[in-house]
Amino acid sequence: MCPALGWNSEMTSCADRAAVQRATAGHAFSQSKNNAGRSLNRTPSPHLLQRQGSDPTSARLRASESPTRRRGSSSASASATGPQQQQLPEEDCMRLNPSFAGIALRSLLAIDLWMSKRLGVCAEEDSSWGSVRPLMKIIEISGHGIPWIAVTLYCMWKSDSAAGQEIMLNLLLALLLDVVLVGIVKALVRRRRPSHNRMDMFASFSVDRYSFPSGHATRAAMGARFLLTHLVLAAPVRVLVLLWAVLVGLSRVMLGRHNVTDVAFGFLMGYFQYSLVEALWVSTAGLQKLLGVLG
């Protein structure tokens, strides 16, 4: 009798250990869902296990222990399917890894939701930091795509040097690339914005109802890297640019627009987007050549 799970078996193989751990993990999650605050490792009572007889966790458990039962029930069939038998435990071990990865991911997401809820201190006017919400919304606009694109176009038009125009052209292309890539990832991942978010954001696409990744964070990271690389800025201004990027990310969580992981991934994605822009850098000479070919 397995003391933790309460079923009869002679569990010695890797497959059996896998079954035990999957069942324990599955049980731990159903426990933590139904009964927040209890330990994940708590041993279930026999009474509870009886009740779980028809739930999906038990169904998985029955499915996973079936190879063991088949092995145990007939030694003749075991010898008949010898090589296959030896593969089964290995397969089960491989299925064990995703379950641990699943546990790690679920734990990370739970921490993420908890932290994001706690940091969403200006999600509403009457939230604990509701008085700084207008300031956070100004920071939000400073990282929005429309002002960035508008200012870039203006600088490109006003620039009197070919080098300046080339830089602004590439910044414009980078901003458009950012909108497209973020839109694709949001549409693929489809993570809902936090429940405490008020959807009162200035000019957004329909895909912006999703929160992963934060488009403001990608733009802030990519834009900051771009400006720091291509503009000659005094040291205090460079610090201000970095501070602004951090504030944009922080304001997303404080406004309740995003979870922490949306912003963290957004920063990472924006950082690498800049590397892509550098790799695909378009020179004005190259652009003129291309336009000549097309025209």
Ligand X SMILES: CC(C)=CCC/C(C)=C/CC/C(C)=C/COP(=O)(O)O
Q: Given the rule CB under 6 A, which residues bind ligand X?
A: 144-146, 149, 179, 201, 203-205, 208, 214-216, 252, 257
Residue for token pair 């990832």: 185
Asked whether 183 and 269 are in contact (CB, 8 A), the reply is no
Ranked by CB distance to ligand X, the top (closest) residue is 145
3-state secondary structure of 120: coil
Please confirm, yes or no, whether 230 is among the known catalytic residues. Answer: no
Could you tell me the CA-to-CA distances from 207 to 131, 185, 258, 266 in Å, in that order?
A: 29, 10, 14, 15
CA-nearest of 78, 59, 58 to 13 is: 78
Q: Which of 27, 47, 144, 216 is catalytic?
A: 216
- 216 catalytic? Reply is yes
Closer to ligand X by Cβ: residue 2 or 203: 203
DSSP letter for 192, please.
B
Q: CA-CA-CA-CA torsion for 173, 200, 140, 106, nearest 10 degrees? A: -90
**Closest CB to ligand X among residues 4, 177:** 177
- Nearer to ligand X by C-beta: 34 or 206? 206
Structure tokens at 18: 């896998």
Task: Report the 10 Å Cβ neighbour count for 86.
Answer: 9
Q: How far is it, in rounded angstroms, from Cα 136 to Cα 247? A: 9
Catalytic residue among 27, 47, 196, 258: 258
CA distance 65 to 2: 13
Backbone phi, then psi, for 36, in 5-degree steps?
-60, 145
* Listed residue (162, 170, 172, 176) closest to 285, CA to CA: 162
Q: What are phi and psi of 192, to 5 degrees?
A: -70, 150
Catalytic residues: 216, 258
